[in-house]
């Protein structure tokens, strides 16, 4: 994430006022990421409680810039040379918006997995939207702080 202007680089009272708001956006971002991880763990635990093989899962990824994405994955099993199975995860494309299309994730899935998807996906969609909106607000605050800092009116 781009760091806000702090310390001796701040020129003017108005520029300094943006700093707590930017830090609050960062705190909200961390809370949303923590909640996404908690929900992901809950989904995996609920699937394990069913005692079934989990062939759809959810991942919470953080990139280098600190942006968080919540994606559904398909677990694909293939034969290893010499016997045995190898598994890999393939990200399922979400499409437009914040919500996954159920057909993309749970088409031809067992009933228990469909139920879990419908239980968790609305929560993940809300978190996706909140994460995006929070980062947009932070970016706007950073831009305003930089403009005001470059030419302080007060």
Residue 60's pLDDT band (cuts 50, 70, 90): very high
Sequence-distant (6+) residues with CB within 8 A of 9 are 149
Domain that holds residue 101: 7-149
Asked if residue 1 is part of any domain, the answer here is: no
Per-residue confidence (pLDDT) for residue 154, from 0 to 100: 64
Q: Which tokens in the block code for residue 133? A: 């909106």
Asked if residue 129 is part of any domain, the answer here is: yes
**What domain count does the chain have?**
1
- pLDDT tens-place string over residues 99-138: 999 999 988 888 989 999 999 999 999 999 999 999 999 9
Asked if residue 97 is part of any domain, the answer here is: yes
Asked if residue 83 is part of any domain, the answer here is: yes
Q: Tokens 């919540």: give the residue.
A: 70
User: If you average pLDDT over each of 48-52, 81-85, 105-109, 137-141, which comes out highest?
Assistant: 137-141
Q: Which tokens in the block code for residue 38? A: 């908690």
Residue 78's pLDDT band (cuts 50, 70, 90): confident
**Does the pLDDT of residue 1 top 80, yes or no?**
no
- pLDDT tens-place string over residues 85-108: 888 889 999 888 999 999 999 888
> Where are the alpha helices (H) located in 5-110, listed in sequence order?
13-50, 102-106
Asked if residue 2 is part of any domain, the answer here is: no
Asked if residue 33 is part of any domain, the answer here is: yes
User: What's the whole-number average pLDDT of the chain?
Assistant: 90
Asked if residue 154 is part of any domain, the answer here is: no
50, 66, 49, 47: which is closest to 58 by C-alpha? 47
Per-residue confidence (pLDDT) for residue 39, from 0 to 100: 97
How many other C-beta atoms are found inside a 10 Å radius of the C-beta of residue 22?
21
| Furthest-apart CA atoms within the chain: distance in Å | 74
Q: What are 62's strand-pairing partners?
A: 68
Please tell me the total number of residues recorded for the chain in this structure. 154
């Amino acid at each position: 994430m781009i760091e806000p202007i702090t310390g001796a680089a701040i020129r003017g009272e108005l520029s300094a006022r943006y700093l707590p708001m930017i830090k609050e956006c960062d705190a909200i971002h961390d809370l949303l990421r923590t909640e996404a991880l908690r929900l992901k763990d809950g989904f995996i635990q609920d699937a394990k409680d069913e005692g079934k093989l989990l062939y759809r899962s959810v991942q919470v990824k953080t990139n280098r810039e600190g942006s968080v994405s919540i994606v559904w994955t398909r677990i694909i099993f293939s034969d290893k040379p010499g016997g045995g199975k190898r598994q890999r995860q393939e990200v399922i494309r979400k499409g437009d918006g914040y919500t996954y299309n159920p057909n993309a994730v749970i088409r031809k899935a067992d009933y228990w997995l469909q139920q879990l998807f419908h239980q968790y996906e609305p929560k993940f969609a809300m978190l996706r939207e909140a994460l995006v909106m929070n980062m947009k607000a932070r970016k706007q605050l950073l831009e305003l702080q930089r403009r005001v800092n470059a030419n302080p009116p007060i």
